[in-house]
Amino acid sequence: MGWNTYNHYSCSPNEAIVKSNAQALVDLGLLAKGYNFVTVDCGWTLPARLANGSITWSPTLFPSGYFALGQFLHARGLKFGVYSDSGIQMCMTGSPTQVGSLADALTFASWGADMIKFDNCYSEASAGYPNTDFTPPTSPSARFSNMSAAIAATGRPIVYAICEWGVDFPSAWAPTIGNSWRIGNDIIPSFGTVARILNQAISQTSFAGPGHWLDLDMLEVGNNVFTAAEEQTHFTMWAIVKSPLMIGGRLSDTAGSITSSSLNILLNSDVIGYNQDSLGVAASFVRRFTSAGYEIWSGPLSGSRNVVAVINLSNVATSLTLNLPDVGLQKAASVKNIWNAATSTNVLTSYTGSVAAHGTMLLELSGTTVAGKYVVADAVTSGTTTAFSHVYGATTGNAYTCVITFSHSSATATAVTVNSVVHSLPANTLTLSILISLTASNANTVVIVSSITPSVLTIAAPASTLYPSTSFALVGTASRTTCSSGLCAPVGSKVGYLSSTGSATLSVTAPSTAIAGSKYATVYFINNDIAISTSWTTGTNTRNMTISVNGVVTRIEVPLSGKSSELFSAGLGWQDTGLFGVLLPGWTTGSNAVVVTNTAGGLVDYAADFVGLSVVW
């Protein structure tokens, strides 16, 4: 946590700017909340090294010098972050040459540095050292590993922030050499950049953990480029994914200061607490409702709590509902709505709240029970009738396993009626296991009539059936690829080039006992269309896919699925499978015509690659 010069001042920092913003960390209460690193990014050096080869500061920009700057920060309880580069120059032309000297680690340590941000500009010799090279012939990892060793050799505890821009999937190698690593290209002053970065983080959250974190880039909170709701979303997601919280906005200088609205967002103790939680588990992507324009992320917290973010991606304010079973829960004794400053108790199955355009419903859930478990205390009992309401069904089906646990047994068999169907509870038995029907809804009711009162109702979803892409017939531009061993799981091959003129089709026969209705499905997809050069403009890190069931079309927008190097791994990340859950309408009994394609178009004509479709009947 801390503050960095770059987002607001670009490569034009100076001593006055750094000191005024550093003092503001103290005066505004930010240091007390944990924002303790002050990092001077690019632009601090002389154009060339000293005669002895040492790197040094610009005396014009920093007349007191870097050692004195470190002392200034340390005297206020702050930590000193410095910036360098793994190439021959820093990320602005000519300052200085031959910057990537490993001896610089010793120099920085002698100045009292507590953090080193190590960048990736002007680093590719084979291409003539361009400012950026997103397709280098060899991995940049060796340069970053060398600096890691140099930092360790200084004997000073220094946080190492790797800034490789996600060129060679640093999540695969950076955790062993650094404390954080940038997963993608720079954040830009447009709200679309938040979604773009999150779509890149989705496949990588499992790589994060104590001491090594995904870096989603510096915060734009306070730079007056987002609405208040957008700033809340931005801050929320960086915090729960456990990204470093490095403020990139102006806190205080001669031109002005941060607004109270932005400051209060940065000071929110709950959100900071989620970021710094001792459990150290990054929240992960759960589900996206593409047509409705929202998505859900969730993660565990210490103290048996959970944090959930429901993001309104649409341009209008709306009311959004979280179905607790989507995040593995059924009930919460307490649901704290952070940004609405409201707390609800004994929340069963679902929670609904109003969310501003591009805003987020951020929830802390505690006192929870696992999904599928309903207790009699939450039911309504009248005589021999007990009604469990708010029962969740992920899919419309008649093969849900329902286990009823009764308060006591009887010496004789007992008739039990469940939703008008009569069953028999054997003598001297506490549990009855049956199959029931539910719709895809959070408002089902299970009515039990029995002389013995039920105490617990446990419901499990029906089994799913996987329809691999190898079973689908191909039309038009669509083509099939056999993947490297162990990839394109669980099928081993995929279908690509799905477009408005290319599709994969299959006639799916429903199980003989199945009923018609919307079915929950898991799409096994592959998308490694990474927005690096396009991140400054139209890049989203997503692709569309449309799935038609008996002519009823559903569009999904899937994130990146890559979990390996897009430059050097087998399949180049285009054989790493992702999972996307979606409720597909249109299913009927008997034969169902399923078509996977991309009639929706988008920034890219082709859909994500298709591995298979799993349907919960």
Residues known to be catalytic: 119, 186
Strand pairing category for 543-549 and 552-558 = antiparallel
What are residue 18's phi and psi, to 5 degrees? Answer: -65, -45
Question: What does the alpha-carbon distance between residue 13 and residue 18 come to, in Å, rounded to a whole number?
Answer: 7
DSSP one-letter string for 599-610: TT--SSSSPPEE
Amino acid, res. 502: G
3-state SS assignment for residue 415: strand
- Strands (E) located in 290-409: 294-301, 305-312, 318-323, 329-337, 342-348, 350-355, 360-370, 373-375, 380-382, 385-393, 397-406
Contact 410, 452 (CB under 8 A): yes
Contact 506, 472 (CB under 8 A): yes
Which residues make beta-bridge pairs with 432?
Answer: 404
What are residue 232's phi and psi, to 5 degrees? Answer: -60, -45
Non-local CB neighbours of 454 within 8 Å, separated by 6+ positions: 376, 379, 386, 404, 405, 406, 407, 448
Can you read off the two tokens belonging to residue 614? 């799993």
Helix (H) or strand (E) segment spanning residue 195 = helix 192-201
Non-local CB neighbours of 581 within 8 Å, separated by 6+ positions: 287, 520, 521, 522, 523
Question: What does the alpha-carbon distance between residue 355 and residue 503 come to, in Å, rounded to a whole number?
Answer: 37
Can you read off the two tokens belonging to residue 354? 């109003």
Question: What does the alpha-carbon distance between residue 405 and residue 163 come to, in Å, rounded to a whole number?
Answer: 55
3-state SS assignment for residue 215: strand
3-state SS assignment for residue 383: coil
83: nearest Cα among 64, 96, 68: 96
Find the radius of gyration of the CA atoms of the chain: 28
Can you read off the two tokens belonging to residue 515? 């009923």
CB atoms within 10 A of CB 51: 6
Question: What does the alpha-carbon distance between residue 300 and residue 279 come to, in Å, rounded to a whole number?
Answer: 8
